[in-house]
């Protein structure tokens, strides 16, 4: 099996951005890597885990991002190079420890890789964690392409050791998940050994107790700010800040990350290379003041191109204001004046639109025509479909039973949701069963609060849903809160035996870890019982049994009742292609359009493997897509769907 370890210095490999980031960490001699899976970050830890055996490396998917940052920090405190990996929302989870960590600083080089999701392609928000660098005072690097992803990751460890503080490397989906050519460097031959010095004065950077106290806080904060000044000096000469274009451009673009490539393409398409200069910053916080002001002084018009919030725009404007009259008046374009949209991803077309307006250029009409034709072709050849659960997904069956039980109960019970594939329970795919979706663990946290509102007249049954990985990540403290405060609720753990949404990364409930080593499984049911909740376990594929169990639990109407709906994800490696049932529609029984519930199976239950046979006017099972869960046989009111156990 090829891993990111393979290949020697000078080789060129096609690498995904996350592979390049992992390779860069290996070239830097990383010893400890920890993260929590989340798109688009997961492949960094996965790739390091595959390379761990031959790299003298410890890798784990931690319970959550804060724990991952703490595990990685322990390596740094022991003077080993360490990496923490997460997506943008994970940085919020880690933020509490992060604030303390960057105040004290690090020993061995330490990098936080944050992979972000402009446009929320795989997220329920598009948070911008660059602001943490400013708010908490640590350096921020943003690679612009695949080669830089590898090289800057490697350099980030060196920088961290030079200033003795954490460095954030920020990627975005289009870098993390696209692929490009990467020239490889050397891998270190020998690793450092752990060296932990916690004896000595309380303000030592490399010795003494690790952390700040009220009496040492001022000293440490001053030391941290000194590190930031040093980082800014180093950034002045960084090769990752580049300029291309005329000496005195009519318009200066200041950009970073993948937006740099969009700018390059947009300038090219508008044939504006002789009018526009591009200052690409790889080191985006703190800004290198001399470098940026030198380029600002070459023009009167500045266009700042970045994704998400106007972070770079605000910082460049602040710097220009600080320079005052010396720099002269500048006109800034960017997100704040509407030259670029304030939300969502950028692309070359969007940047070209803003650029053409500023430069008063009419874009080549053939480009617009090309986009129109492309949209037409895509519209004709790609089938439009809404987000839904996979064929045989246990969540569809779970939500079917949950929805029906709530309807049968008749007291307008409602369910708070959480983050995972089952988030789709808020949409028609999950029959609109979930009524809230926020952060990891927030479903049970909100339910814990709603469960207390009886005294104010909220007497509807309260339920919460979370997945097994989410249970360990953030649901346990809220569950403890609910039990301790005698909240009245039913918590449903949708246990599909893995972190399904991000690709089956292990979690504490499983018997193996990220490196494939045997791990001690933590039992969800035992944890819940130990907390003091009652626990019932049901198979969601048993639709009637699950619905009846839920009705019983709803009827109990007191205390915290946990229902674990346990069935492995249809796409899990253990289950994939293994059918429990051969399933077929007996078209002689199927009522078709006359079916009491308006084609219940294909229009309401909507398993993608249930299709409509237009010529017969009846339902049909697509044998290729069908995962053989057998659930549809339980929902057809006419008994037209048959299932036969696979021997
Ligand atoms: S058995 Fe029915 S519900 Fe299950 S995957 Fe096949 S068609 Fe879908
Ligand atoms: S298979 Fe059953 S649910 Fe589907 S259309 Fe026929 S009768 Fe209706």
The predicted-structure confidence for 77-104, as pLDDT tens digits, reads as follows 999 999 999 999 999 999 999 999 999 9
* pLDDT value, residue 597: 64
| CA of residue 592 to ligand 2 center, whole Å | 6
By most ligand atoms within 8 Å of CB, the mutation choice from 630, 634, 639, 645 for ligand 1 is 630
Q: How far is the CA of 472 from the centre of ligand 1 (A)?
A: 30
For residue 574, how far is its CA from the centre of ligand 1 (angstroms)? 18
Q: What average pLDDT score do residues 158-169 get?
A: 98
How far apart are alpha carbons 550 and 540 in whole angstroms?
A: 11
CA 391, CA 629: separation in Å to the nearest integer? 8
State if residue 632 touches ligand 2 by the CB under 6 angstroms criterion: no
Q: Is 619 in the pocket of ligand 2 (CB under 6 A)?
A: yes
Question: What integer is the mean pLDDT of 476-492?
Answer: 96
The whole-angstrom separation of Cα 85 and Cα 282 is 19
More confident residue, 2 or 292: 292
**For 447-453, which contacts have Cβ atoms below 8 Å and span 24 or more sequence positions?**
447/416, 447/482, 447/487, 447/489, 447/491, 448/478, 448/479, 448/481, 448/482, 448/485, 448/487, 448/489, 449/487, 450/416, 450/489, 451/482, 451/487, 451/488, 451/489, 451/560, 452/485, 452/487
Residue 122 pLDDT grade (very low, low, confident, very high; cuts 50, 70, 90) = confident
Q: For residue 398, give every residue at least 6 positions away whose Cβ sits within 8 Å of its Cβ, in sequence order, or none.
A: 422, 492, 494, 540, 546, 565
Q: What is the pLDDT of residues 132-151, one digit of tens each?
A: 999 999 999 999 999 999 99
- Pairwise pLDDT comparison (491 vs 572), residue with the higher score: 491
Q: How far is the C-alpha of 222 from the C-alpha of 232, rounded, in Å? A: 15
> What residue ranges in 559-633 does DSSP mark as E strands?
560-566, 581-585, 610-613, 618-621
Q: Which two tokens stand for residue 6?
A: 């393979």
Beta bridge partners of 583: 643
The whole-angstrom separation of Cα 355 and Cα 640 is 60
Protein residue with its CA nearest to atom 5 in ligand 2: 599
Task: Write out pLDDT tens, residues 509-552.
Answer: 888 889 989 999 999 999 999 999 999 999 999 999 999 999 99
Please tell me the predicted confidence (pLDDT) of residue 351.
96
* Confidence grade of residue 505 (pLDDT, cut at 50, 70, 90): confident
Ligand 2: nearest atom to the Cα of 591: 7
Model confidence pLDDT, tens digit, residues 320-330:
999 888 898 99
Tokens of residue 282, six digits: 């790889």
From 631, 636, 645, mutation site for ligand 1 pocket: most ligand atoms within 8 A of C-beta: 631
Looking at ligand 2, which residue's alpha carbon is closest to its atom 7? 590
For residue 140, report the distance from its CA to the centre of ligand 1, in Å: 48
Q: Atom 6 in ligand 2: which residue has the minimum CA distance?
A: 590
Residues 571-630 have pLDDT tens digits of: 887 777 788 999 999 999 999 888 766 688 988 999 999 999 999 999 999 999 999 999
**pLDDT confidence of residue 575:** 72
Say if residue 40 is preceded by a cis peptide, omega within 30 of 0. yes
CA-wise closest residue to 399 among 610, 288, 565, 184: 565
Answer for the pair 337, 310: CB distance below 8 angstroms, yes or no. no
Condensed to tens digits (0 to 9), the pLDDT of residues 455-470 reads: 899 989 999 999 999 9
Q: Which residues line ligand 1 (CB under 6 A)?
A: 391-392, 583, 607, 609-610, 621, 626-632
Question: 638-647 pLDDT, tens per residue?
Answer: 999 999 998 7
Q: What separation in Å is there between the alpha carbon of 179 and the centre of ligand 2?
A: 45
> What number of CA atoms fall less than 13 Å from residue 100's CA on the CB side?
12
Helix, strand and coil in the chain, % to nearest 5: 40, 20, 40
Give helix 146-163 / helix 214-236 axis angle, nearest 10°. Answer: 130
pLDDT of residue 576: 73
Model pLDDT, residue 287: 98
pLDDT per residue over 227-253, tens digit each? 999 999 999 999 999 999 999 999 999
Identify the nearest ligand to the CA of 604 by its number. 2
Mutate to test the pocket of ligand 2, among 583, 588, 591 (most ligand atoms within 8 A of CB): 591
User: What are the DSSP calls for 374-403, one per residue?
Assistant: HHHHHHHHS------PPTT-HHHHHHHHHH
pLDDT of the residue at 598: 67
When pLDDT is cut at 50, 70 and 90, the band that residue 365 belongs to is confident
C-alpha count within 13 angstroms, C-beta hemisphere, residue 491: 41
Mean pLDDT of 490-499: 90
At residue 298 the predicted structure's pLDDT band, cuts being 50, 70 and 90, is: very high
Chain centroid, CA 39 distance in Å: 4
pLDDT for residue 363: 80
- Ligand 1 probe mutation, 542, 590, 607, most atoms within 8 A of CB: 607
Q: What is residue 243's three-state secondary structure?
A: strand
Q: How much distance in Å is there from the Cα of 601 to the middle of ligand 1?
A: 10
Cβ atoms of 320 and 314 closer than 8 Å: no
Residue 590 CA, ligand 1 centroid: distance in Å? 16
With a cut of 90, say whether residue 417 has pLDDT above it: yes
The DSSP code sequence of 422-491 is: GGGGGSGGGTT-EEE--STTHHHHHHHHHTTGGGGT--S-EEEEEEHHHIIIIIHHHHHHHHHTT--EEE
Q: Average pLDDT, stretch 346-365?
A: 92
- Residue 570 CA: which ligand is closest? 1
Q: Confidence band (pLDDT; 50, 70, 90) for 396?
A: very high
Average pLDDT over residues 337-364: 93
* Gap between the Cα atoms of 504 and 502, Å rounded: 6
Distance set, CA 320 to CA 279, 297, 326, 410, 451 (Å): 15, 9, 9, 63, 53
**553 to 445, 543, 546, 565: CA distances (angstroms):** 19, 15, 10, 13
Q: Mention every residue, 6+ apart, whose C-beta is less than 8 A from residue 212.
A: 100, 103, 104, 220
Reported as a pLDDT band with limits 50, 70 and 90, residue 380 is confident
Give 387 Cα–ligand 2 centroid separation in angstroms. Answer: 22
Ligand closest to the CA atom of residue 584:
1
Count CB-CB contacts under 10 A for residue 295.
21
Alpha-carbon span 571 to 629, nearest angstrom = 12
Whole-number pLDDT of residue 201: 86
Closest ligand 2 atom number to CA of residue 635:
3
Locus of tokens 């050994």: 193
pLDDT averaged over every residue in the chain: 94
| pLDDT above 80 for 314 | yes
Query: Where does the pLDDT of residue 289 fall: very low under 50, low under 70, confident under 90, or very high at 90 and above?
Result: very high
pLDDT of residue 171: 97
Which residue's CA is minimally distant from atom 6 of ligand 1? 626
Going from the Cα of 642 to the center of ligand 1, the distance in angstroms, rounded, reads 11
Q: Is the dihedral of CA 25, 26, 31, 34 positive or negative?
A: positive
CB 620 less than 6 A from any atom of ligand 2: no
Bond preceding residue 286 cis, omega within 30 of 0: yes
φ, ψ at 540 (rounded to 5°) = -60, -20
Indicate which residue's Cα is closest to atom 2 of ligand 1. 632
């Amino acid at each position: 099996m090829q891993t990111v370890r393979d290949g020697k210095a000078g080789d060129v490999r096609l690498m995904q951005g996350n592979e390049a980031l992992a390779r860069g960490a290996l070239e830097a001699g990383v010893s400890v890597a920890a993260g929590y899976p989340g798109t688009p970050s997961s492949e960094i830890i996965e790739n390091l885990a595959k390379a761990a055996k031959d790299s003298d490396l410890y890798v784990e998917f931690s319970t959550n991002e804060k724990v991952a940052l703490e595990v990685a920090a322990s390596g740094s405190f022991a003077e080993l190079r360490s990496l923490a990996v997460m997506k943008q929302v994970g940085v919020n989870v880690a933020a509490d420890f992060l604030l303390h960590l960057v105040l004290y600083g690090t020993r061995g080089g330490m990098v936080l890789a944050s992979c972000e999701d402009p446009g929320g392609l795989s997220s329920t928000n598009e948070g911008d964690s660059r602001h943490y660098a400013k708010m908490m005072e640590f350096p921020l690097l943003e690679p612009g392409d695949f080669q830089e992803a590898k090289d800057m990751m490697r350099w980030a460890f060196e920088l961290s050791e030079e200033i003795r503080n954490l460095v954030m490397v920020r990627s975005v989906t289009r870098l993390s998940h696209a692929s490009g050519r990467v020239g490889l460097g050397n891998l270190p031959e020998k690793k450092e050994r752990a060296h932990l010095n916690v004896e000595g004065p309380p303000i030592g950077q490399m010795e003494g107790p690790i952390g700040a106290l009220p009496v040492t806080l001022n000293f440490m904060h001053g030391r941290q700010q000194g590190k930031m000044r040093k980082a800014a000096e180093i950034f002045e000469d960084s090769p990752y800040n580049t300029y291309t274009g005329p000496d005195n451009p009519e318009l200066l673009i200041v950009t970073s990350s993948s937006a740099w490539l969009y700018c390059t393409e947009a300038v090219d398409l508008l044939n504006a290379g002789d009018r526009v200069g591009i200052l690409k910053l790889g080191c985006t916080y703190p800004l290198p003041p001399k470098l940026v002001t030198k380029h600002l002084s070459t023009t009167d018009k500045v266009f700042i191109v970045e994704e998400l919030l106007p972070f770079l725009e605000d910082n460049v404007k602040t710097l220009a204001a600080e320079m005052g009259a010396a720099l002269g008046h500048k006109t800034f374009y960017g997100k704040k004046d509407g030259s670029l949209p304030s939300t969502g991803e950028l692309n070359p077309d969007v940047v070209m639109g803003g650029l053409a307006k500023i430069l008063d250029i009419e874009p080549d009409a053939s480009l617009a025509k090309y986009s129109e034709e492309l949209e037409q072709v895509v519209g004709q050849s790609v089938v439009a479909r809404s987000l839904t659960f996979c064929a045989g997904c246990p969540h569809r069956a779970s939500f079917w039973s949950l929805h029906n039980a709530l309807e049968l109960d008749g007291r307008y019970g409602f369910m708070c949701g959480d983050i995972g594939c089952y988030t789709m329970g808020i949409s028609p795919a999950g029959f609109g069963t979930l009524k809230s979706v926020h952060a990891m663990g927030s479903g049970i946290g909100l339910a814990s609060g709603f469960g207390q509102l009886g005294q104010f007249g909220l007497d509807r049954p309260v339920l919460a849903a979370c997945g097994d990985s989410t249970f360990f990540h953030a649901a346990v403290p809220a569950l403890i809160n609910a039990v301790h405060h005698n909240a009245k609720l039913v918590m449903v753990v949708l246990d599909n035996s893995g972190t399904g949404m991000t690709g089956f990364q292990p979690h504490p409930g499983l018997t193996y870890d990220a490196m494939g080593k045997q791990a001690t499984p933590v039992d969800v049911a035992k944890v819940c019982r130990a907390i003091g909740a009652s626990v019932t376990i049901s198979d969601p594929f048993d639709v009637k049994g699950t619905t009846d169990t839920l009705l019983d639990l709803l009827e109990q109407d007191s205390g915290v009742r946990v229902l674990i709906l346990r069935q492995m994800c249809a796409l899990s490696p253990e289950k994939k292609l293994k059918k429990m049932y051969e399933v077929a529609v007996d078209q002689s029984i199927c009522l078709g359009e006359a079916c009491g519930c308006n084609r219940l199976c294909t229009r309401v239950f909507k398993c993608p493997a249930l299709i409509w046979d237009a010529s017969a006017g009846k339902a049909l099972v697509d044998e290729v897509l069908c995962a053989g869960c057998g659930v549809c046989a339980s929902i057809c009111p006419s008994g037209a769907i048959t299932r036969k156990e696979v021997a």
